[in-house]
Amino acid sequence: MNNRATSKNRIEWGFMLTLLVIITLAFAFIVEPFFGAIVWAVVVAVLFRPVYDRLLGLLPGRTNLATVITLVLILLLVIVPAILLGFAMVQEATGIYQRIQSGEIDFNAVFKGFEKSLPHWMQVQLSAYGYGDIASIRAEVEQYVSGILEFLLGQLLSVGQGAFQFLLGLGVMLYLTFFLLRDGPALIDRIGDMIPLKESKRHILMERFLAVIRATIKGSLVIAVIQGTLGGLVFWALDIRGALLWGVVMGVSSLIPAIGTGFVWVPVALYLFVTGDVTEGIILSLCGVFVISMVDNVVRPILVGRDTRMPDYVVLITTLGGLQLFGINGIIIGPLVAALFIASWSIFSDMHKVHEPEKVSD
């Protein structure tokens, strides 16, 4: 009798688990078109949670009003500036791309000047390493810069061409953000109840997840905004064309370790030196090293501390992988998945140590 009951129980559990997997996969398939909107809703909700809590303290019991005010602030401080920035970037990127195609930006003249400025021994060394043909290097650099601009224009114009899909995704993000802000703690408790762990371990799990997510978001987005803004201001002060565009590119490249903002300002500084603008080149180099690049070392420990910082090589690989799989959303999705991966295995390791039987000494 007991064996029959056990067999029936196993069948029920097997059926339930199978049904759960099928329904979960079906649900994931349905929400997949709005995956980016969901991710950004979570990101925005986590970033603006302290603002909501502060408003709720000023408006006790009026959760809906506090949430609406927070959404208005998100629109005014994030969404509207981002849309305006996107339009401005399209204009600047289009202008620079057209100047390259028309020959107004003459890479040939720049590289000829660069070749003439090199001492003879350096030209010999470049030839020895296979870089003696300056014309071929010029063609590669010109193609590389044009490729970057084409990619940026393609990403920005695709948003404009799919205006309805963009507005729909934006609406879903704001709608979901409303409930994540208002009902966030209740949702976390509900998710925690579904995790088959003791309450103490569930609490540790959720706290660790939230801590690492906050650290990842702050350490990525906030510092990217600061570095991009500083870089754009330096370019504007030096009267370098496309300062807004290059500031945004610096912000994005700052998310990628080992590349960082130097991906933009180093080539521009070299360009200034080669074209004879030595003073501007020196100023840009000094600002790049001691102002723009130092933000990460100074601001990141203040924002997130050092304990929750992921290794740079993990951030690099997951950011590039995220970009490959999810496009621009991958800048956040990649490191976020890595953060959850590290947190999960860290918690599992702690649990294993707790349950590991002590060795009996001889």
DSSP state of 360: P
Q: What is the mean pLDDT of the chain?
A: 76
Cα–Cα distance, 228 to 142 (Å, whole number): 24
First CA to last CA distance, the chain: 46
Q: Spell out the alpha helix ranges (H) of 162-242.
A: 163-182, 184-194, 199-217, 223-237
Cα–Cα distance, 182 to 30 (Å, whole number): 25
**Angle, helices 223-237/278-287, rounded to nearest 10 degrees:** 160
pLDDT digits (tens, 9 = 90+) for 347-356: 777 766 655 5
Long-range contacts of 297-300 (CB under 8 A, 24+ apart): 299/222, 299/223, 299/226, 300/219, 300/223
Structure-token pair, residue 266 = 């180093």
Listed range (121-135, 170-184, 327-341) with the worst mean pLDDT: 121-135
- Taking the whole predicted model, whether its pTM rises above 0.95 is answered as no
Query: Which position has the higher pLDDT, 63 or 310?
Result: 63
What is the chain's percent helix, strand, coil content, to nearest 5? 85, 0, 15
Cα–Cα distance, 227 to 211 (Å, whole number): 23
pLDDT digits (tens, 9 = 90+) for 69-92: 999 999 998 888 888 877 777 777
What Cα–Cα distance (Å) separates residue 138 from each residue in 26, 99, 106, 134, 352?
51, 16, 10, 6, 57
- Taking alpha carbons only, the member of 145, 96, 349 closest to residue 263 is 145
**Portion of the chain with pLDDT greater than 90, in percent:** 6
- φ, ψ of residue 254 in degrees (nearest 5): -65, -20
SS3 for 264-328, per residue? HHHHHHHHHHHCCCHHHHHHHHHHHHHHHCHHHHHHHHHHHCCCCCCCHHHHHHHHHHHHHHHHH
Listed range (22-36, 121-135, 315-329) with the worst mean pLDDT: 121-135
Q: Stretch 168-176: mean pLDDT, rounded?
A: 88
The domain segmentation of the chain, as residue ranges, is: 197-351
pLDDT digits (tens, 9 = 90+) for 175-213: 999 999 988 888 877 776 777 767 766 776 677 667 666
Return the H-helix or E-strand segment holding 161: helix 134-161
DSSP state of 104: S
Cα–Cα distance, 242 to 232 (Å, whole number): 9
Which pLDDT belongs to residue 360? 45
